[in-house]
Amino acid sequence: MPEAGAVDGDFLFSLSAYLNPRAPILFVASLTTQASDGGLSFSLTFQPLVAADRKTPTGEPFDVGPFELSADGTFTAQLPTLVVPGDANPISGSELEATITLTGGSLCAPADFICGIVTGTTARPLPLNLKGSAFAMERIADPSSYPAPVINCKRDPANPLP
């Protein structure tokens, strides 16, 4: 397990819904870790990105966590209900309301790539079970040039922009 602060930084976060997995909802996710009860926990700040260019911030950022890491760096993060602006939703273009859980690993140094599965439900634009969805986080080395988004642990690429 890394020390507190060792893996902190900004990541391109892809939420890949099973409906259209190669059209992920993208965020800049700022990861911070802190020592907690002899272990490590982490928090994230999510900033949605406009789907049309995958780089322009849209809507308000939101904070989640802290979430505990297991000794091997795996985690389960049950997020509060989140609302994503319509211009960040490449599938329908509608505002999205969802309650999701991220299950992943391993968040170990250097933690340049973190991935896992997404479970939960959407309430808007229509109710859906998100079973079969995935997430991937790739470290942003250069804030002026985000990495190409990938959609899962196999690092399958997202569809290119039109």
Given this model, what pLDDT does residue 39 score?
83
Per domain, the residue ranges of the chain are 9-139
pTM comes to 0.92
Domain 9-139 has CATH 2.40.128: yes
For 21, 39, 42, 59, 84, the CA distances from 149, given in Å and listed in that order, are: 12, 31, 22, 20, 18
Given this model, what pLDDT does residue 19 score?
87
CA–CA separation, 32 and 65 (whole Å): 10
Given this model, what pLDDT does residue 108 score?
56
Given this model, what pLDDT does residue 125 score?
87
CA–CA separation, 11 and 139 (whole Å): 4
Q: Is the pLDDT of residue 141 over 70?
A: yes
